[in-house]
Structure 1
Amino acid sequence: MSDNEFEYAGSDAADGTWDDEGDFADYEGDFADLEAEAAEAAAKLPTVAIVGRPNVGKSTLVNRILGRREAVVEDIPGVTRDRISYEANWAGRRFLVQDTGGWEPDAKGMQQSIAQQAEVAMRTADAVVVVVDATVGATATDEAVARVLRRSKTPVILAANKVDDQRTEAEAASLWSMGLGEPHTISAAHGRGTGDLLDVILEALPETPREGTGGTGPRRIALIGKPNVGKSSLLNKLTGENRSVVDNVAGTTVDPVDSLVELGGKTWKVIDTAGLRKKVNQASGHEFYASLRTKGAIEAAEVAIVLIDASQPITEQDLRVLSMVIESGRALVIAYNKWDLVDEDRRYQLEKEIDRELVQIPWALRVNISAQTGRALQKLVPAIETSLESWDKRIPTGRLNNWLREVMAATPPPLRGGKLPKVLFATQAATRPPTFVLFSSGFLEAGYRRFLERRLREEFGFDGSPVRVNVRVREKRAKK
């Protein structure tokens, strides 16, 4: 196979030749569409900051916008402390919604740090939503927030929250006095008026985000595993306090527990999840809802640490948990916990089990730890960072195609129906996880796709991240 034949391979013409301009033009629309999708996925998103004094319902509104329970909500003020961004989608448009702690002008100590985070959000966001409790009216703190925002050039939207009936809606009219324009009446808890508010937010957001926006807050880690494997003990050891209830009885944790943890000089959001006993569709009662929440925590995370009890044989439950993480496309670190209970015989057996049971995921990074004693916990951060780096990695199209040409010239795909499938072009369509699309003149066998994935990893790394290789078979279009 000549270089020219490979570069423009993909024609299924009878003579096997390629008309450089005509045939390539048949496909270039596909390439443009695919690369446009990739560019859109990589583009920075505009940011809307949700601000206001403590306990007015900011996090509840964030969850309503996201359509899921992501931000932690409690009836006590001051639960949200950091400025954390989440990706949202409304009417087909993607943007970041930034949850902030309660803003108070004369705060001291930790409350002052919380207020400073909210001020940063107000300065850097593309639009700001000020949330006011309509049942209380504009307080001195609300007026102070309004004074700050009236001086800024950022679009400001006033949301009058906790409006559950017409009487409260009439009272919300008094909020015109804040000088921030029309009060948009909503009930974040019940969803009343939030669709109209989102329409207003989209109108205020620019097509291109401001410079300096787009921060995504702490990176998100989910602790996953079967019951009683040590997830809560690990979270408590990492935080240095008893954030999760720990007991020898399996299934103590039901709701995901979020904690901001300082590791390796960085702040991470660590989520302790319920132990997965059964498949979601086979669980019942509180186990069913715990499984759903755990699945949601995996989807919301960027990297999953799957804990496996190293002192016991690898079980079907362990494999099911790993499959769930891999299917979700999240970066993966396997932590073999309770290593302080592992002797030489058990180490030998564990290595045999790993070779036998985990042969399909040799790319997953492994760390041997003890949540009880703190053994080797410092090794978690390098493994997490490596996995996330792989998860975010993008390979330039030119370099990818040069590599692919060399690989396929050395090891062509198997014949199919008497014809040799030819790959015209390859591109990385997405990151998180890295997803590659090959345009081919014929079907590529699953075994050959696994071979390409293995060679991709050898050339470009991707340790700790799943890699997806998709094939688009294109029939040659008839010439006019």
Structure 2
Amino acid sequence: MTDEHTGPLPVVAIVGRPNVGKSTLVNRFLGRRAAVVQDTPGVTRDRIAYEALWNGKRFTVVDTGGWDPQAEGLGASITRQAEYAMKTADVIVLVVDSQVGATETDLAAARVLRRSDRPVILVANKVDDERSEANAAELWSLGLGEPHAVSALHGRASGDLLDLVLDAMPEAPREQDEEGGPRRVALVGRPNVGKSSLINRLAKEERSVVDSVAGTTVDPVDSLVSLGGEEWRFVDTAGLRRKVNTASGMEYYASLRTEGAIQAAEVAVVLLAADEVISEQDQRVISQVVDAGRALVIAINKWDTLDEDRHYQLKREIERELSRVKWATRVNISAATGRGVSKLADHLRAALASWETRVPTAELNTFVRSLVQETPPPARGGRAPKIKYVTQADIRPPRFVVFSTGFLEAGYRRFLERKLREQFGFHGTPIEISVKVREGRDKDGKRG
């Protein structure tokens, strides 16, 4: 069976109360470890979409936070995310822990789902052997038909379950969204700077769970938003606390997801909190974006909350702490009130335009020759290197190769970068300059 459908994919929502193994089942569907899994209830808090493939059929799997109709506070926000996923899904998979049996929460979920016009598949998870199947049979009491016994952790009967999911899918997805090619934006920053609040402001709905507890977002969350008359795909990521190689457990996998989101993006918005000192964590996030070679916009959130003293201090901090990325475009915003948020689109477009800029070779060499005549490279070992030729090897980001008769000091390479930016712009993008040494020859053919 081959799926040649190129429009929007059917959506399968995986729902259930906390810690029944939803994310483990999602990973089993995907055939890889994509969703964050940990033995702590509530690790998944937002609805996260992944593309899956089974028997030649592509579809979208949506992992959701634990659903609890009686939840309050953060739990209520998670529940709303799960309920929204159910409303927009083509097939709903309700996961129940067979070892625990049907709880009051499971019964409440079943009452809601019995009224749904979507196909509902009941999964009795954690059935690791035949002896456990009797526990699964007790879930007939939920009134959702036959409970399908699986072990998401060990893969038992997962293939049969996927066959059932495919059989339950409609011929066409319910929601026919227009297919386009929205630019991919990673929204990154340390915990609790307002990333999820900004996503919700942009999406004009509660797309990401927002809570005053730092670290609410664990997985990257995709959102298609309309901004400045254009559609963009924003990915809200986990707040980065420490380097991946020093993180552990849930944070380790969240860091990997964030790193992956940056790599998959074209431009990153690094969100800083105006009411907090620019920290080492902020610097590390910016370094990740630069090292990945992605276009960069720095958005300073909570700008409207500052008094005059903090305005002055922040200005000094920016000059001092962000001096190495003076080229990054900056915008002051308030995710809470929406102030300045509309300006993001112009900054994103400008950064992407620079990221994709190619300078004609003739124009580039004319400029560099003139520059070198005015300021030649410093001598090294008693001999000054000569720059023979410069070419732009690539874009996204712009990469330049300098052919020289000798090594160019790091200071001179930084000088070249600064002058290239002054001449050709490159606002909002890192640029890379590498040197290839080719020894010159004098008139007698001897190497010089």
TM-score normalised per structure 1: 0.58
Aligned equivalent of 1:224, options 188, 191, 199: 188
Task: Pick one of 363, 367, 370 that aligns with 1:406.
Answer: 370
State the shift of 1:78 in Å.
7.5
Summarize the Cα distance change of 1:65–1:301 in structure 2 as closer, same or farther, 3 Å threshold.
farther
User: SS state of the match for residue 50, structure 2?
Assistant: coil
- From 278, 293, 307, the equivalent of 1:329 is 293
Q: Tell me which residue corresponds to 1:72.
A: 50
Q: Which residue of 2 aligns with 1:245?
A: 209
Amino acid at match of 1:383: H
Match of 1:315 in 2: 279
AA in 1 matched with 2:387? V
Q: For residues 404-442 of structure 1, give each alpha carbon's deviation from its aligned partner in whole angstroms, at most 9, with x where no partner exists.
A: 000000100101111111111111000011110001110
Return closer, same or farther for 1:243/1:399 CA change in 2, 3 Å cut-off: same
Q: Write the distance in 1 (CA, Å) between the matches of 2:391 and 2:180.
A: 26
Out of 240, 249, 256, which is 1:276 matched to? Answer: 240
CA distance in 2, matches of 1:343, 1:476: 60
Alignment equivalent of 2:260, drawn from 288, 296, 318: 296
SS at match of 2:224: strand
Alpha-carbon shift at residue 282 of structure 1 (Å):
0.6
- Partners of 1:290 and 1:444 lie apart in 2 by 40
Q: Which residue of 1 aligns with 2:410?
A: 446
> Which residue does the alignment assign to 1:472?
436
| Aligned residue among 294, 305, 308 for 2:269 | 305
Give the match for residue 335 of structure 2: 371
Q: 1:25-424 to 2 correspondence within 5 Å?
A: 51=6, 55=10, 72-73=50-51, 79=60, 217-424=181-388
Q: Structure 2 counterpart of 1:367, which letter?
A: V
Shift of 1:72: 2.5
Unaligned stretches of 5+ residues in structure 2: 13-25, 36-47, 62-87, 90-156, 164-178
Query: 3-state SS of the aligned residue for 1:254?
Result: coil
In the TM superposition, residue 216 of structure 1 has moved relative to its aligned partner by 7.7
1:340 Cα deviation after fit:
2.0
Deviation at 1:279, TM superposition (A): 0.7
Cα distance between partner residues in 1 of 2:296 and 2:234: 14
Q: Offset at 1:475?
A: 3.3
Letter of the 2:355 partner, please give it: W
Cα deviations by residue, 1:109-165 (Å, 9 ceiling, x for unpaired): x99xxxxxxxxxxxxxxxxxxxxxxxxxxxxxxxxxxxxxxxxxxxxxxxxxx9969
Bigger RCO (CA 8 Å, 6+ sep):
1
1:68 and 1:474 map into 2 onto residues whose CA distance is 46
| Corresponding residue SS for 1:360 | helix
Distance 1:235 1:78 in 2: 25
Change (3 A) 1:373 1:409: same
Deviation of residue 361 (structure 1)?
Answer: 1.0
2 CA distance for matches of 1:264 and 1:56?
A: 28
Once residues 242 and 357 of structure 1 are traced to their aligned partners in structure 2, the CA distance between those partners, rounded to angstroms, is 33
Which 4+ stretches in 1 moved above 2 angstroms?
48-57, 63-75, 77-80, 162-165, 475-479
TM-score (norm 2): 0.62
Q: 1:72 aligns to what SS in structure 2?
A: strand
1:401 & 1:357 partners in 2: Cα distance?
Answer: 33
- Corresponding position of 2:92: none
Amino acid at match of 2:321: E
Distance in 1 of aligned mates of 2:9 and 2:290:
39
Q: Does structure 1 retain, via aligned residues, the 8 Å contact 2:51–2:59?
A: no
1:54, CA displacement in angstroms?
Answer: 5.2
**Deviation digits for residues 313-338 of structure 1 (CA, Å, limit 9, x no counterpart):** 11111111111111111000111101
